[in-house]
Amino acid sequence: MNKKYKIGYTSGVFDLFHIGHLNILKRSKELCDYLIVGVNTDELVETYKKKRTVISFEERIAIVESIKYVDQVIAQKNLDKMEVWNNHKFDAVFIGSDWKGSQRWKDTEEILKTVGADVVYLPYTINTSSSILKETLDKINRAE
């Protein structure tokens, strides 16, 4: 099957790995021959989310590396997609549709357009997220 892109890229925290994570990796791979996945470092997550991950960076990398849709995993040390493009020359970056229209991603679209790379918004998996899982675990722990 001929795929739309040769090299694709997506990134995320991938904490408390769930079906939404799997969906974005699967959908990304359906659109490209070679999928590179950036796993956000613990330091990066603390910088922009102002919280700590539950699962360590090393374990999150190991989980993502084991997914059959993933061809390569890299450490995502900052949010600069142009830096990733400079190192890996991807044709498209894949992101959940929940980010569409945000200023950060409008800016990313403009920057990547200058090098011919697309931003592709994939359907967001509703009703599941690591934040929801953490909240549920907190409620269970408080009830005990």
pLDDT value, residue 5? 98
Q: The domain 5-143 is classified under which CATH number: 3.20.20.140, 3.40.630.40, 3.40.50.620, 3.30.70.270?
A: 3.40.50.620
- Angle between the N-to-C axes of helices 103-113 and 81-88, in degrees from 0 to 180, rounded to the nearest 10: 30
Q: List alpha helices for 34-143, DSSP H.
A: 42-49, 57-65, 81-88, 103-113, 130-143
pLDDT value, residue 3? 87
| Residues 31 and 3: beta-carbon distance below 8 Å | yes
Alpha carbon separation from 16 to 28, 90, 106, 140 (Å, rounded): 20, 27, 28, 16
Confidence category of residue 128, pLDDT binned at 50, 70, 90: low
Spatial separation of the C-alpha atoms in residues 122 and 87, rounded to whole Å: 24
- Cβ neighbours of residue 48 closer than 8 Å, sequence gap 6 or more: 79
The answer, yes or no, to whether residue 34 has pLDDT greater than 80, is: yes
**What proportion of the chain, given as a percentage, has pLDDT over 90?**
72
| Residues 20 and 128: beta-carbon distance below 8 Å | yes
Confidence category of residue 136, pLDDT binned at 50, 70, 90: low
pLDDT value, residue 26? 97
The highest-confidence range among 97-101, 107-111, 140-144, by mean pLDDT, is 107-111
Spatial separation of the C-alpha atoms in residues 47 and 115, rounded to whole Å: 28
Averaged pLDDT, 134-140: 65
pLDDT value, residue 76? 96
Measured in degrees and rounded to the nearest 5, phi and psi for residue 137 equal -65, -40
pLDDT value, residue 124? 85
Q: Which residues are catalytic?
A: 49, 51
| Residues 91 and 36: beta-carbon distance below 8 Å | no
Lowest mean pLDDT among 41-45, 46-50, 83-87, 115-119: 46-50
